[in-house]
Structure 1
Amino acid sequence: MESLVEWMSQPWPWYVAGPLIAFTMVLLLFVGKSFGVSDTLRTTCAIGGGGRVSDFFDFDWRKQTWNLVFVLGAIIGGFIASTWLQQPDPIPLAQDTIERLQELGIDNPGENYLPEEIFSWESLFTLRGFVMLVIGGFLIGFGARYAGGCTSGHAISGLSNLQVPSLIAVVGFFIGGLIMTYLLLPVILTL
């Protein structure tokens, strides 16, 4: 049992995770569903009566409950992974990356997946934390709605279905990620 827990606590190699994702996509295509997490918020709002306020939420949400089950599974899986399958060793980072992050105000890069200088209740009440968590969260939500789906929906499901809008969205995600990493993040971290 200990070797199973040890195996499960390691990142799965591409040749295991990739075919599992492909199998999931084929299964979803077979049953006529598409994958995407951002639809879950719409379904939740529809359940709460959002259809009385906006036509966007006025749909038969019962056909989308599988999305809620998927998100519940992701939450439970995240809890299991963070509680029992945590990697005790620091995240292996290149020395140049560690030095650059320290220059930007991250004291112990690689110690945690979410640096406390950014992702904590204390940092939420700083300008840097507010920009990263509140404004960034709003932009992610707005962007997912504006793009017609989130990164997982477009990159996994949309590309699997050979949808050109998803290809354009994924290219935009990568360009946005590069701009954020190399231009905006250094400025935000020095706030």
Structure 2
Amino acid sequence: MKILYEPWPWYIAGPMIALVMFLLLMVGKNFGMSSNLRTMCTICGAGRNVDFFKFNWKAQRWNLVVVLGAIIGGFIASQFLSTDTAVAINPDVVANLNELGFESAGKAYLPTKLFDNSAFTDMKSLAILAIGGLLVGFGARYAGGCTSGHAISGLSNLQLPSLIAVIGFFAGGLFMIHVLFPLIF
């Protein structure tokens, strides 16, 4: 049984994010999701072989709760609070994506060509996902954090490196979608 709700408007969700950031700043914590991968690797014993993973991971347990909350919240939202998961995009974009072979454009939340279970049997899709994952992981490590950490936490702290990183994220995203994406598909 699905319970149907409208998404929270920006004037509710935005201040709630700001409140969480204020509370984190008051207790001396920084928000970011990519740092959890380092924590999980350390918990699994990666610190025995690589110095990067030798740190007090117990001090980061609070951030693992954020990951768990994101997973549980995403499940609840998709299963019980969502009416139509199709993304409303411009009809011209839908036509362009259909020409590239993305028949689900405008009808699904994620392109089924890339995120359907068939992606695990198609070598091209598997290679794109693997290479993309490696590049995102490398980029997050090289930038000293992920988009959520820099854009939400770093900019809240008025950190210049976070501003530079966010500009780089957007420039890289624009380059990817306008230059590389048409070449791949």
TM-score by length of 2: 0.93
Unaligned residue ranges in structure 2 (runs of 5+)? none
CA RMSD of aligned residues (A): 1.5
Residue of structure 2 aligned with 1:6, choices 4, 7, 15: 4
Give secondary structure in 1 for the equivalent of 2:76: helix
**What pairs up with 1:166-181 in 2 under 5 angstroms?**
166-181=162-177
**Percent of aligned pairs with the same residue?**
57
Tell me the matched-pair count. Answer: 184
Residue of structure 2 aligned with 1:40, choices 36, 60, 74: 36
Equivalent-residue separation in structure 2 for 1:90 and 1:116 (angstroms): 12
Structure 1 residues 69-99: Cα deviation after superposition (integer angstroms, max 9, x where no partner) = 0000000001111111222364322211111
**Change in CA separation of 1:90 and 1:59 when aligned onto 2, cut-off 3 Å:** closer
Equivalent-residue separation in structure 1 for 2:157 and 2:31 (angstroms): 11
Structure 1 match to 2:80: 84
TM-score by length of 1: 0.91
**What pairs up with 1:67-82 in 2 under 5 angstroms?**
67-82=63-78
Unaligned residue ranges in structure 1 (runs of 5+)? none
113-122 vs 157-166, greater mean Cα deviation: 113-122
**Change in CA separation of 1:89 and 1:145 when aligned onto 2, cut-off 3 Å:** closer
Residue of structure 1 aligned with 2:25, choices 25, 29, 36: 29
Residue of structure 2 aligned with 1:103, choices 90, 99, 104: 99
Q: CA deviation at 1:148?
A: 0.4
Equivalent-residue separation in structure 2 for 1:54 and 1:91 (angstroms): 42
Equivalent-residue separation in structure 2 for 1:96 and 1:180 (angstroms): 19
